[in-house]
Structure 1
Amino acid sequence: MKTLVYSAKDFEISFIKKANSKKHKLTFLEDSLTSESAIKAIGYKAISIFSKDDASPIVIEKLKDFGVEFITLRSVGHDNVNLNTANTLEIKVANVPAFSPYSIAEHAVSLLLTLNRKLIEANKRVKSFNFDLNNLIGFDLNDKKVGIIGTGKIGSVMTKIMHGFGCELLGYDILENKELTKKYGMQYQSIEDLCENSDIISLHVPLNSETHHLIDKNLIKLMKPGVVIINTARGAILNTEDIINGLRSGIISALGIDVYENEKEIFFSNHSLDIITDEMLIKLNAMPNVLITGHQAFLTDEALTNIAETTIYNLDCWTEGIETKNELTKIISKKK
């Protein structure tokens, strides 16, 4: 199948080519999908997009006019795709429902450990042959209460890892995972109680209307002074302005994020020579107790292999005229 791959990054192209094994005619485009760049899909039956690409109604309508029949995402999240429009226009959409939950969970732990033990500052000092230990005090993770919001595949791995540190585990999810309770002593609580009781909070939920700005000033007011918040899920789950106020007040002692609610125009590109105008990002970046990575939690060999293989699998199914098990639009069809 002739497929245009939008937002193609150097680090992923080799993985996609290997998974494809010359089965589909792929064209890699560095540009992201926008209303303007949609015209480049003329002549392609399918496109592949990433989380920052714009598949809003007007873009999908253009893709339909240009002859696109299939959209395969190289991500789990699909909040950037208007599935209602795609379904109405009979454009099939599929995602990568799971790649490596270990990559995300392990990155979340990396953020936590780096913040807690102040490793960046410690390394910076040693680079200057400064071996002073003042202001580098962290805390034991053992016996700390860790609140895990979202206990699906990634949250489950996070639970397992933190259990290994000897943490007391609190969970919040629409569906309780009884296995986590049985194996790791997970205690499910209301989100209010979890925020009130946790020393550390880690977010692992998808972004939707229910989770948008889930963590806001109302929940922050309930949190223990000195709480650490880790977000490797979606940026807009946090109300960033409220988080900044929480950091300034001292309620939040540290913040580790791999995602940011306004990341779409910033992440995945080099802006080192640009003047950044995003005031919230500037404020966060200036805080010594905030650690930001640029949406790289998925960046492992295993995860990139899984993403590439699933993307090609979706194309394989559509080429053969069958549904892929990862289709998103069929869900909407069944509801109607």
Structure 2
Amino acid sequence: MEKTVKIAFFDTRSYDKSSFSAENEKFGFEIEYFDFKLNEKTAFTAKNFDAVCIFVNDSANSAVIKILKDCGIKLIVLRCAGFNNVDLKAAQEAGIKIVRVPAYSPHAVAEHALALLLSLTRHIPQAYLRTKTQNFSIEGLTGRDLFGLTAGILGTGKIGRIMAGILKGLGMKILCYDPYPDSKWAEAEGYSYVSIPEIFSKSDVLSLHCPLTPETFHIVNHDTMKMMKEDAVIINTGRGALIDTKALVHALKHRHIAGAALDVYEEESALFFNDHSTEIMTDDVLARLLTFPNVLVTGHQAFLTTTALSNIAEVSLQNVKDFFEGGELKNEVKL
């Protein structure tokens, strides 16, 4: 590289700055961190930079892509696995390459999914709040053994496979769904690939680990939840829009399912990663969801471990180095 590459980071938090600044000591890029999100109003701040680094709630739609091209941006670096917030066609037409971090720490996400599952089914948040006020009653905290139950893994990429292994270790029977099944892996582990109706109808725990695509958008909806057992629970550490949230509220209200634990929400971009504790919530769907005692929500923190942050920084900056040195783009996202 003849000159120092300049990267504009959008929607950054203290943990981003810490992990990327430490990793950048090996690369020597010029980095500027912005706490605001990338969108049509902020994209002009990318002028005089060579690349932008964005996260899940930044927008790289066609309008933003056009502005980035005019600003001279050559590369969009996703410091995450998902890329549903990027208009790939517009980027291709603009000649802007897209790279991502396909597997920063699948264990981090799977382990958080397990934490959500156990917290939900054993009423850990309620118990914690009670004991903080010296209330040691266990009335209403009856849980359920997971041993012997059936877990449905919707999406068997790296995270889904790790989650399947964890739940198998708890003594659960594993059912899987994926449009591209790996029958050899499933047979070796003693798992079964089944259809959508079967995974919804037979699962006691349904854990979502698939990417958000037109095919998976609202895959959990009114019709599919009606197939589920009344004592089944849903865990989502994938993407918010895998679930039709209004339909989820209806299913919970009418006791079609027993509960849900979510680390993602389909309208999260206006809320997550920021403190709104002194504000009135205007999102009526999320507000209703939070009233249910059998719902647990965390703010998209499944990825947030020291291991994952280090891996995200290392892979992201290596992606930048490979691009500007003309190396192979192993993590390029193509149309």
TM-score bracket, shorter-length normalisation: over 0.9
1:252 partner SS: coil
For the 8 Å contact 1:3–1:26, the answer to whether it is kept is yes
Distance in 1 of aligned mates of 2:229 and 2:117? 17
Partner of residue 268, structure 1: 273
1:67 has 2:63 as partner: no
For the 8 Å contact 1:148–1:172, the answer to whether it is kept is yes
Picking from 308, 312, 319, the partner of 1:314 is: 319
Distance in 1 of aligned mates of 2:46 and 2:186? 48
Q: Which amino acid aligns with 2:19?
A: F
State the identity %. 40
Distance in 1 of aligned mates of 2:225 and 2:10? 38
Q: Which amino acid aligns with 1:327?
A: E
Partner of residue 41, structure 1: 46
| Superposed CA offset, 1:133-171 (max 9, x none) | 211111111000001100110000000000000001110
Q: Which amino acid aligns with 1:37?
A: T
Partner of residue 2, structure 1: 6
**Shift, 1:194, TM fit:** 0.8
Partner of residue 21, structure 2: 17
Partner of residue 142, structure 2: 137
Distance in 2 of aligned mates of 1:110 and 1:184? 23
Distance in 2 of aligned mates of 1:125 and 1:148? 33
Q: CA RMSD in A?
A: 1.0
**Shift, 1:24, TM fit:** 0.6
Distance in 1 of aligned mates of 2:316 and 2:98? 11
Specify every segment of 5 or more residues in structure 2 that has no aligned partner in the other structure, as ranges: none
For the 8 Å contact 1:163–1:184, the answer to whether it is kept is no
1:293 has 2:298 as partner: yes
1:98 has 2:134 as partner: no
Picking from 273, 277, 285, the partner of 2:282 is: 277
2:16 partner SS: helix
1:207 has 2:187 as partner: no
Q: Which amino acid aligns with 2:88?
A: L
**Shift, 1:268, TM fit:** 0.7
**Shift, 1:323, TM fit:** 3.5
Partner of residue 185, structure 1: 190
> Where do 4+ consecutive residues of structure 1 move more than 3 Å?
none
Distance in 1 of aligned mates of 2:165 and 2:219? 24
**Shift, 1:178, TM fit:** 3.0
After TM superposition, the structure 1 stretch with the greater mean CA deviation from structure 2, 5-14 or 233-242, is: 5-14
For the 8 Å contact 2:183–2:193, the answer to whether it is kept is no
**Shift, 1:174, TM fit:** 1.0
For the 8 Å contact 1:229–1:255, the answer to whether it is kept is yes
Specify every segment of 5 or more residues in structure 1 that has no aligned partner in the other structure, as ranges: none
Distance in 1 of aligned mates of 2:329 and 2:192? 36
Taking structure 2 as the reference length, the TM-score comes to 0.97
Q: Which amino acid aligns with 1:153?
A: K
1:125 has 2:133 as partner: no
For the 8 Å contact 1:57–1:82, the answer to whether it is kept is yes
1:83 has 2:88 as partner: yes
Q: Which amino acid aligns with 1:11?
A: Y
1:210 partner SS: coil
Distance in 2 of aligned mates of 1:191 and 1:71? 35
Matches within 5 A, 1:152-191: 152-191=157-196
Q: Which amino acid aligns with 2:309?
A: L
For the 8 Å contact 1:258–1:293, the answer to whether it is kept is yes
**Shift, 1:223, TM fit:** 0.7
Distance in 2 of aligned mates of 1:63 and 1:218? 41
Distance in 1 of aligned mates of 2:331 and 2:145? 41
Q: Which amino acid aligns with 2:221?
A: D
Partner of residue 28, structure 1: 33
**Shift, 1:273, TM fit:** 1.5
For the 8 Å contact 1:100–1:298, the answer to whether it is kept is yes
Distance in 2 of aligned mates of 1:76 and 1:180? 23
1:159 partner SS: helix
| Superposed CA offset, 1:214-243 (max 9, x none) | 111111111111110000000000000111
Give aligned pairs, total: 330
Picking from 190, 200, 207, the partner of 1:195 is: 200
**Shift, 1:179, TM fit:** 4.6
**Shift, 1:183, TM fit:** 3.8
2:81 partner SS: coil
Distance in 2 of aligned mates of 1:196 and 1:317? 46
Partner of residue 58, structure 2: 53
